[in-house]
Chains A and B, each alone.
Chain A
Amino acid sequence: LAKTTQPISMDSYEGQEVNITCSHNNIATNDYITWYQQFPSQGPRFIIQGYKTKVTNEVASLFIPADRKSSTLSLPRVSLSDTAVYYCLVAVYGQNFVFGPGTRLSVLP
């Protein structure tokens, strides 16, 4: 299984850009990288998914270097409501998601 490593926690202030980096050194050729957001007592919510280079949607951007051994989730201009746990997952071909401990993001006023 491709294991992921993320910072356990991060602090930011409202209006700042937040970048959360995830390491996945043994990612396989067919693996995609997926990020989820989870608020307390709620199910994880899909944020963004990518395979290589850069992906952008209405809430975030995902940067993946050529070697794909890491990825960076970028949240532009965070607000207090972005305080949550963010999980990086690598979809292993033929197997299933294994959630790592995630990154607990605290956005301060």
Chain B
Amino acid sequence: DTEVTQTPKHLVMGMTNKKSLKCEQHMGHRAMYWYKQKAKKPPELMFVYSYEKLSINESVPSRFSPECPNSSLLNLHLHALQPEDSALYLCASSQERSGQGGSTQYFGPGTRLLVL
């Protein structure tokens, strides 16, 4: 099973709302990732968790707050977003951090976020 699930599939929120995106994998992977993808652009890395600890934050604004409650779950908490934050948010996981022995990242279907 190489499935990564994400909920919700779609989310519409106002600029004053607080919402959360959820990601789950049951492949025993120890690295999990959040990416942001704008239309017709490649995915951009936001955060990396390795063994449940935040290891990379790619200078993401504090209105995005990641959380890794356990090795299978990854959340992205959203607060006071701007319309330009509207995008497809992708979660991925790999056995270990990519680059070490050729680990492969498996992606979820994404959450389509619209900020009004």
Contacts and interface: CB of A to CB of B under 8 A. Distances in A.
Sorting the interface of chain A by its residue count into under 10, 10 to 19, 20 to 34 or 35 or more gives 20 to 34
Contacts of A99: 42-44
Nearest to A32: B102
B97 A94 contact: yes
Contacts of B108: 43
A45 B105 CA distance: 9
A95 B104 contact: no
Contacts of A98: 45
A96 B99 contact: yes
Contacts of A100: 42
Secondary structure class of chain A's binding surface, majority of residues: loop
B106 A46 contact: yes
Interface in B84-112: 88, 90, 92, 97-110, 112
A87 B4 CA distance: 19
Interface string A84-97: 00010001111111
A101 to B, nearest CB: 6
Nearest to B103: A91
Contacts, number: 62
B81 interface: no
Contact of B43 (A31, A32, A41, A44): A44
A44 B98 CA distance: 15
B98 to A, nearest CB: 5
B100 A42 contact: no
B21 interface: no
Residue in B2, B97, B99, B107 whose Cβ sees the most chain A Cβ within 10 Å: B99
24 contacts: A30-B99, A30-B100, A42-B109, A43-B4, A43-B90, A43-B107, A44-B43, A44-B107, A46-B2, A46-B105, A49-B104, A87-B42, A91-B102, A92-B99, A93-B100, A94-B97, A94-B100, A95-B99, A96-B33, A96-B48, A96-B98, A96-B99, A99-B43, A102-B42
Interface of B: 2, 4, 33, 41-45, 48, 56, 88, 90, 92, 97-110, 112
